[in-house]
Amino acid sequence: MKHSALLAFCLGFALAIGACKKEETTVTPTPASLYDRVGGTAMVNDMSNPGTMIEKGRLTLRSVVDSSIFVIAADPKMQPYFPTLLGEVTKGDLTGFAKLSKNFTDFMCVATGSKNYTYGGLNMKAAHDPAINKRIPMKISNADFDAFVGDIGTGLAKNGVTSANNAQLVTDLVALLNTTRADIVQK
């Protein structure tokens, strides 16, 4: 009698485990966010600010943003859009650069799916409307939006991400930038 009760218990236990296992295998994994794919939340040393740590995803995005700002600043097609910033930098004043770097990086962190940063700048429509943001002197054309995205592609390449070695990531980041086109192109 005792034996059969034990046998029934073991059988029930084995069936329960089997049922649990079956359930586990049907769970669909959450796809990695773009933020995870550029490094995610793992903490690494921030070489630009010795003694501090930074999320690897943010470090990647900040590096790409900073490289891109330099590429954009040197691009004759882009220069007419940035007279305030270029004027400041020429005089050795980097406050506008630092603010743009932070805001653009925050924007990219949030847009790629980071949970630990927030964006506090103007929305994309206001940021690119010369009537609201006095730091931009004119409205942006479709062709110049494309040129700007091309410069960000160069900024990505400067950080080792190219269509040749990471085609899907480049495609997905460009697609993300393109979601802002309707708000940013205002002429």
Give the binding site for ligand HEM (CB under 6 A): 78, 81-82, 84-85, 96, 100, 103-104, 107, 121-122, 127-128, 135-136, 140, 144-145, 148-149, 177, 180, 184
Alpha helices by DSSP H, 74-94: 83-90
Minimal distance, residue 18 CB to ligand HEM, in Å: 50
Nearer to ligand HEM, 44 or 102 (CB): 102
Nearer to ligand HEM, 12 or 137 (CB): 137
Nearer to ligand HEM, 141 or 165 (CB): 141
Pair 61, 67: CB distance under 8 Å: no
Nearer to ligand HEM, 16 or 143 (CB): 143
**Distances 161 to 55, 67, 149, 153, 157 between C-alpha atoms, Å:** 18, 12, 14, 9, 5
Taking CB atoms, the residue at the shortest distance from ligand HEM is 121
CA gap 54, 106 in Å, rounded: 13
Residue with tokens 């506008």: 96
Minimal distance, residue 160 CB to ligand HEM, in Å: 21
Minimal distance, residue 63 CB to ligand HEM, in Å: 16
Q: φ and ψ at 43, to 5 degrees?
A: -85, 135
Would you give the DSSP letter of residue 29?
A: P
Minimal distance, residue 81 CB to ligand HEM, in Å: 4
Neighbour count for residue 124 (Cβ, 10 Å): 16
Minimal distance, residue 19 CB to ligand HEM, in Å: 48
Would you give the DSSP letter of residue 32?
A: P
Nearer to ligand HEM, 35 or 81 (CB): 81
